[in-house]
Chains A and B, each alone.
Chain A
């Protein structure tokens, strides 16, 4: 058994952490599976008029389901829900053709590749898309998107996942992120926090490769992650808390925060939805969906990585 990884955390056995995270994950997947029609993309608009939010939600659903498949620590119930969700999302993206059309329509956009890479990572491929992406990746324009630094890392990670040649220097890009600057920990705000979590997710490929995080940033997170977890646990900001829990599970020496999982499990609704902790969920599921599908998706990722790392503290790099 691994130890908690954080000697200062309240004692909480790995078995209890695994049990809690497992339950949160299964219940979240149940809810996502039940409401999956709400993730469907509109059929009555041109492809390029589909909103970024709709594409983002569906791609995040695919990401979470892909992590469940990759880690293979879910029980049969969670695993089959994840498979259904992956297939559903791939069908909604017309088995890659929608992403291909979007990339053709706006060649400078990076989000079709970022979304496609989630599927490519778990074996769903679309050959014309990849030919187009390979060409775009060679262009000077592809090196200079006007993105915030952590988003540049997202593109680097997507390129890597799809298997295209890398032209950017991840170390230089990392140095420009909030996390890469190892800032004073009290300067974290919600916006920086999401930047930080995504820097870790992209560098470690959503926990598949903890070695992708530079050692000095691992050390920095070992020092301060527990502070931010404590602060957002206290304020009940479940969406961000779940992201931070996922970060802990992406580290070489994982920080699993067993005691905090009991708070997240307690916040989860009986139907499996994890509220964001910031806005009050509506009674009506399709209304509640808008603001609370994201924390429920993040809970799946965080819980899956937590269980995987508790069972297997040093995973094989992908």
Chain B
């Protein structure tokens, strides 16, 4: 279905997969056959690439509801990780890759799958805060942008240093979200809204609800933004 260059193919596939996950989150009573969705997108790199881009969020319909992934669904993730391995940690370790793979491995563990030895998983899968001193004192604009990149760690089961920071700097998350909205960067704003949603019950941000509504209506044609919004809404709900 997709005939352009490999990066464009993955990008288009990511939009389709993100929309699919969003639908699953918004309709918890419908099944979510991940393997079938990935196959439908196409195995010319687009589908597996999209799984890698969406990362742990492809498992959100299972993590945040009663659905149980089938063996083939897990295998689709494993195949994607193998096909698109994390870059080698030497000479320059990539903390975002490490953190995103940490999230993926942890999310799989919650579903009863041990992925620590999977081929392609980042060997340094820390939690994105290997150097908390450096990130903790960063000025809020750059810190918030960094947190937006790590939004896949904003899932209820992923306790770690990044989440601890997110809880400690909620005002800065809100500032980063407001700044991104003013810059019309709905995706970044939605990712930060998702971090705010994570601890919304223990430390309520009064603007979160209106921010999510605003982003949903203004970012209406952006599927990755819609996924972050759906996740934020789901995460802020009490029952998981």
User: What is A's interface to B at a CB cutoff of 8 Å?
Assistant: 8-10, 184-186, 188, 223-224, 226-228, 230-231, 234
Contact = CB atoms under 8 A, between A and B. Distances in A.
Contact of A184 (B140, B171, B207): B207
Closest 9 CB pairs of A and B: A186-B181, A8-B140, A185-B178, A186-B178, A231-B182, A227-B175, A227-B178, A227-B179, A10-B139
Nearest to B176: A227
Contacts of A224: 175, 178
Given A9-B139, A184-B207, A186-B211, A226 B175 contact: yes
Given A226-B140, A227-B175, 16 more contacts: A9-B139, A184-B210, A184-B214, A185-B178, A186-B178, A186-B211, A186-B214, A188-B182, A224-B175, A226-B175, A227-B178, A227-B179, A228-B182, A230-B179, A231-B179, A231-B182
A190 to B, nearest CB: 11
B183 interface: yes
A230 B210 CA distance: 22
- Interface bin, chain B: 10 to 19
Describe B's contact surface by its main secondary structure.
Answer: helix
A224 B181 CA distance: 13
B213 to A, nearest CB: 11
A224 B171 CA distance: 9
6 contacts: A184-B207, A184-B211, A186-B181, A186-B211, A230-B141, A231-B179
Contacts of B179: 227, 230-231
Nearest to B139: A10
B199 interface: no
A9 B210 CA distance: 27
A127 to B, nearest CB: 49
A223 B174 CA distance: 9
B11 interface: no
A91 to B, nearest CB: 43
B172 interface: yes
Nearest to A234: B183
B122 to A, nearest CB: 30
Nearest to B177: A186
Contacts of A228: 182
B211 A223 contact: no
Contacts of A186: 177-178, 181-182, 189, 211, 214
Given A184-B210, A184-B211, A223 B182 contact: no
Contacts of A226: 140, 175
Contacts of B178: 184-186, 224, 227
Contacts of B175: 8, 223-224, 226-227
A226 B182 CA distance: 13
Most B CB atoms within 10 A — which of A184, A223, A228?
Answer: A184
Most B CB atoms within 10 A — which of A9, A10, A186, A224?
Answer: A186
Contacts of B171: 223
Interface in B195-240: 207, 210-211, 214
A10 B214 CA distance: 30
A224 B182 CA distance: 12
A9 B207 CA distance: 23
Contacts of B181: 186
Contacts of B174: 223
Interface string B178-190: 1101110000010
Contacts of B214: 184, 186
